[in-house]
Amino acid sequence: KLDSKILCIPAKILFQKGKWDGLKRDDLDHYYQLLLSHSEFRIREELEHDPQFKQIIPQVVFKHQDSYFLHRQVAANETRLNSLCPLPIGGHVEEFDQKIVGQDIIQAALDREVDEEVFLETEVTKRTFLGIIYLEDENPVNHVHVGIAYIFEVKNPNIRIKEEGLEDVGWVSANYLNENIDSLTYWSKVILKEHINNSFTVAPNQ
């Protein structure tokens, strides 16, 4: 799909108040409106190594009680992320996402990605906007993407991977994630360190 057009935002606009490292959790209304009003569609191949533009990636972590849905990339399209385990489900915003009536394009893309990647056989009881992820580290893939991160809390754990190239790891605890942090994708580590570990409470012994 490198010849397809995907949604991106010029870095100079996104970072006009300065860059951040990790999960941006303040002034989110301002940044979300920036994404909606100043984003543009460009050919994906031209963006893959151009840090002047940030590809917009809406994504969601599924939570059931104190457990989180983890999956594994068996044959990732993004070879720079192969063999790592993501917490979030998500992907690029495509041109056809703007045709969904009653939703902004980021929410439409998020719901489409969920529908494409998992069998969601449960009710989403709460949708929480966590923040915007950006990393500028040793991995060049992080320099050209920005993550729009959500948590969806679900009524029961009936979720299975649908998309080819992915497979279930299953529902895991925060302790499991911390013990296996080296196997997580970069953005998954950010969500774990900056959100899950700050909100996790130890359940009483059964």
Q: Would you kindly state where each structural domain of the chain is located, as residue ranges?
A: 5-199
Q: Which fold has domain 5-199?
A: Nucleoside Triphosphate Pyrophosphohydrolase (3.90.79)
Query: From its phi and psi, is residue 147 left (phi > 0), alpha (psi between -120 and 50) or beta?
Result: beta
Tell me what the mean pLDDT of segment 64-90 comes to.
Answer: 80
Portion of the chain with pLDDT greater than 70, in percent:
92
Can you give the pLDDT at residue 109? 97
Could you read off the pLDDT of 113-127 as tens digits, one per residue? 999 999 999 999 999
pTM comes to 0.90
Which long-range contacts link 46-53 to residues 24+ away (Cβ below 8 Å)? 47/6, 47/8, 47/144, 48/2, 48/144, 49/140, 49/144, 50/144, 51/11, 51/143, 51/144, 52/10, 52/11, 52/12, 53/8, 53/9, 53/10, 53/11, 53/144
Distance (Å, whole) CA 2 – CA 190: 27
Rounded mean pLDDT, 2-12: 94
Q: What is the pLDDT of residues 58-74, one digit of tens each?
A: 999 999 999 999 998 87
Q: According to the model, what pLDDT value does residue 37 have?
A: 96
